Structure 1
Amino acid sequence: MALNELTIAQARDLLAKGEVTSADLTEACLTAIESATTLNAVTTVTADKAREMAKAADARISAGDATAMTGIPLGIKDLFAVEDVPTQAASNILGGFKPRYESTVTRNLWASGAVMLGKLNMDEFAMGSSNESSAYGPAISPWREDGSDAAITPGGSSGGSAAAVAADLCLAATGTDTGGSIRQPAAFTGTVGLKPTYGRCSRWGIVAFASSLDQAGPMTKTVRDAAIMLGAMAGHDPMDSTSADLPVPDFEAALTGDIRGKKIGIPREYRVEGMSASVDTLWAEGTAKLRDAGAEVVDISLPHTKHALPTYYIIAPAEASSNLSRYDGVKYGHRATLSAGEGINDMYEKTRAEGFGPEVQRRVMLGAYVLSAGYYDAYYKKAQRVRALIKQDFEAVFADGVDAILAPATPSPAWQLGAMKSADPVEMYLQDVFTVTLNLAGLPGISVPAGLSSKGLPLGLQLIGRPFEEADLLNTAYALEQATGFSAKADKWWT
């Protein structure tokens, strides 16, 4: 096995034994990145920084001061501010922007000894489900349909992170999840994607999309790796008023795989029209595997699920329109060139027209509309009330003794790039039907690769847990991972 193909856990153990060095791991990943430009997953390579950090990590390991993440090479989604490294949120409006500060999540990772390889592609401002709205151009999945050379979407918005992990360009990556942007691309690429409880990981230093929904999380090759990486990313941060002041447990220690007596809920409302037959079959097989592992499987109802998508697509654009109003060409980022006689309002309009892509403009306009004086009560205020009902649905189910909920991560496998570009955007928004509920309720969720579609593309199952009980959720996911035994990898056609 090549060094870049190792999991975090495997690399950690080899580093501890002195059988490999962080420098070795880092060079293997940098070489893999060089040979995978076709995937367009990595937007900025920080090779010199990576080598310096690897050297420091090796010294730390030799001194006996290593953590589980020391020496592990990572990719960082372009939404996280990294000091003096380009951070554009895949948008032209932030072209050339280099932060003078560090996000809390990346600062925590560097403090643990992790190594930064570079920044990863994504949908512009995390708005999209296919990575096609990126100013860098689309990231491409390392997977292909059987018998086809057509490019496949890696999902979004963390498409570059998912593609990089699946193609072994890094051992793991950071992602963010506002409506499924970690879990959906993980399901599309045969990787593990964990969205923690809202407040578990600090949002400080992460370019904002929708502040009440955004949450950072790990994207990894295995559930164990997700547990290890979350332990380094999480923690209370006084810089983020929504950060939970709770201790960070040893998530990896919780991975016993014993789920005997656990009650797993199967939500009837998630059986939606148009769901792929492959996904439906996989869901049934996953349910049977958890039952065989000793869990009690029960049918549950989440009655307000049917309102989740319209609720999300009111609240998220509303918050986006507020957050993105700061990009006006005055302080930083792109500034439009004005003609003689044009004033400040012209500069605002031209800067945003030139800097924001079509999907971002669409959502900003939608958000401004629902927040306007004539429609605030009819749309935004009503959506917040429905959001409370969605949260109460989950609370009622957990109060009845359900420990976790099993559902599909996506209604279909990944699609070919461009397949939805000319279609009504609502068609793409419908892909979020199984993921947005968690963000509205602030709950943790994890996508676990569980099988292949009829055309040979990865499919994922989603587990939903109780708030701040990621350790228990990860253990259930670990049991599911062991039961499904998914080990398929994409053929390295891009090298």
Structure 2
Amino acid sequence: MTDLTALTIAEAREGLSKKEFTATELTEAYISAVDAAGDLNAYITKTPEKALEMAKASDERLAKGGAGNLEGIPLGVKDLYCTKGIGSHACSHILDGFAPEYESTVTQNLWDDGAVMLGKLNMDEFAMGSANETSYYGAVKNPWRANGEEIDRVPGGSSGGSAAAVAARICAGATASDTGGSIRQPAAFTGTVGIKPTYGRCSRWGMIAFASSLDQAGPITRTVRDAAIMLKSMASVDKKDTTSVDLPVPDYEAALTGDIKGMRVGIPKEYRVDNMPEEIEKLWQQGIDWLKAAGAEIVEISLPMTKYALPAYYIVAPAEASSNLARYDGVKYGLRVPGEDIVDMYEKTRAEGFGDEVKRRILIGTYVLSAGYYDAYYLRAQKIRTLIKQDFEKAFEGVDTILTPATPSAAFELNRKVTDPVENYLNDIFTVTVNMAGLPGISVPAGQSSNGLPLGLQLIGKAFDEETLFRTAGVLEDAAGIMDAPTKWW
């Protein structure tokens, strides 16, 4: 029998339906792989007993011919998603011991479709970071290493555990979330596929909030087809989340026709940033050539507000974070550090419970929302956000999708000493506009850097037009070839 963990979701689903192996055998293979990959630090909680119990139930349904869309497929869950009775911490010390009494809507949708839960995946604390180095449980290591090196690299963030686990074949697919690039950037760094759907396509209920007007759930997988399969199960309207949109969820897999003849693809001139590495420029041109060869028309477009997106994002997101994280005070759940009185307890709990990056963003957010600065910062950032959305609306009058790089570089070294947080924030330069406008975006592996590290291209689509993204992404994937697994060193 082939190594079951080498199978994509689509291949594993087919093998299960043909009874070539059982869901229990598939799950056991992944449990062994997870146990052998401790060096990556991708999982912070492993649930092998629950996984085997769910796999057994899948085998019973498969035997009766009642399989769901993801029947028997073992998945990892980002620690941002609340899972009933299982620790859900957003990788923060302040949520120590929190095991919710409810299931997030997205994970419930996956379990309803027969998926199997392998455990909870590491992430940047409260999803604040672009390298998965802010986690209370330690940094995740990228399974990819540069040619001839033994230096650990970051997997990207905040969904670094999800991306590393998928790339290392220690889950078939993973849930992730994207507030400013936290699905697409780690996908690009690890040679995986990550899609941030349109804001409102997936319910946010039961996801631990960072910035509520920007956060969106999505999958990280090995292939575009797998991403289409997973998103079909994850997406839904939800009466518990009034920002989820009541629209039919298409069969995204059916969109992978390979036909993009006549499609108009926009190339935004503002994304040609200063000091962009030559290999990123070359990759972008390669993507343009691939789409042109497949029959697409390439159109230069302008998104003039792009240069304001990053500073505006780093006002809006921390402002919402400072509001959302005010609930963590040591009173009802999570960490509690005793104090002389309740105010002292609040202060000590929050001082010990939050990491440096989270404290930094709470301070920024509280500052920009304060009475003297609200108009100067927060209100102005919201106006910029509206103008960014209008840029995209105007561009999409003439094009069907937009092609850009996913990241300004390949994965950088772990634990590099960065004294200026702005340097880390610049990792999101190509991705934050999509969140500010609420649009869908997908990162597809498209090549490798000169030293053998994965590089990704990003496609941006019209609101609720993920089908066009999947169709175009499938063409890019066919041209680039599905990326092989990294050479195992862990």
TM-score, L = length of structure 1: 0.98
Q: Does 1:418 align with 2:415?
A: yes
Cα distance in 2 for partners of 1:364, 1:86 equals 24
Structure 1 letter corresponding to 2:418: S
> Which structure 2 residues correspond to residues 123-272 of structure 1 after superposition, within 5 A?
123-272=124-273
Q: Does 1:438 align with 2:434?
A: yes
Following superposition, the deviation at residue 442 of structure 1 comes to: 0.3
> Which structure 2 residues correspond to residues 59-458 of structure 1 after superposition, within 5 A?
59-338=60-339, 342-400=340-398, 402-419=399-416, 421-458=417-454
Which stretch has the larger CA shift, 173-182 or 270-279? 270-279
Following superposition, the deviation at residue 471 of structure 1 comes to: 1.1
Q: Is contact 2:404-2:430 (8 Å) kept?
A: yes
Following superposition, the deviation at residue 279 of structure 1 comes to: 1.0
Q: CA offsets, 1:107-163, max 9 Å, x none?
A: 000000000000000000000000000000000000001111111000000000000
Aligned to 1:6: 7
SS at structure 2 position matched to 1:491: coil
Q: Is contact 2:316-2:381 (8 Å) kept?
A: yes
Cα distance in 2 for partners of 1:280, 1:489 equals 25
Q: CA offsets, 1:215-262, max 9 Å, x none?
A: 000100000000000000001000001000001111101110100000
Structure 2 letter corresponding to 1:76: V
Aligned to 2:489: 493
Structure 1 letter corresponding to 2:379: K
Q: CA offsets, 1:84-124, max 9 Å, x none?
A: 00001000000111000000000000000000000000000
Cα distance in 1 for partners of 2:109, 2:350 equals 33
Cα distance in 2 for partners of 1:360, 1:47 equals 31
SS at structure 1 position matched to 2:475: helix
Following superposition, the deviation at residue 381 of structure 1 comes to: 0.3
Which stretch has the larger CA shift, 169-178 or 422-431? 422-431
> Which structure 2 residues correspond to residues 26-65 of structure 1 after superposition, within 5 A?
26-65=27-66
How many positions carry a matched residue from both structures? 489
SS at structure 1 position matched to 2:396: helix
Q: CA offsets, 1:438-481, max 9 Å, x none?
A: 00000000000000001110000000001001111101100111
Following superposition, the deviation at residue 422 of structure 1 comes to: 3.2
Structure 2 letter corresponding to 1:384: Q
Q: Is contact 2:385-2:436 (8 Å) kept?
A: yes
SS at structure 2 position matched to 1:303: coil
Runs (5+) with no aligned partner, structure 1 = none
Cα distance in 2 for partners of 1:165, 1:251 equals 20
Of residues 455, 460, 485, the one that matches 1:459 is 455
Cα distance in 2 for partners of 1:35, 1:405 equals 40
SS at structure 1 position matched to 2:118: strand
Aligned to 2:471: 475
SS at structure 2 position matched to 1:249: coil
Q: Is contact 1:451-1:486 (8 Å) kept?
A: no
Q: Is contact 1:57-1:113 (8 Å) kept?
A: yes
Cα distance in 2 for partners of 1:324, 1:438 equals 24
Q: Is contact 1:274-1:411 (8 Å) kept?
A: no
The two structures, once aligned, show a CA RMSD in angstroms of: 0.7
Aligned to 2:23: 22
Following superposition, the deviation at residue 68 of structure 1 comes to: 2.5
Cα distance in 1 for partners of 2:315, 2:295 equals 41
Following superposition, the deviation at residue 485 of structure 1 comes to: 1.3
SS at structure 1 position matched to 2:375: helix
Structure 2 letter corresponding to 1:403: D
Q: CA offsets, 1:299-319, max 9 Å, x none?
A: 000000000000000000000
Cα distance in 2 for partners of 1:158, 1:134 equals 11
Q: Is contact 1:262-1:296 (8 Å) kept?
A: yes
Cα distance in 2 for partners of 1:21, 1:489 equals 24
SS at structure 1 position matched to 2:151: coil
Cα distance in 2 for partners of 1:143, 1:355 equals 32
Runs (5+) with no aligned partner, structure 2 = none
Cα distance in 2 for partners of 1:82, 1:4 equals 24
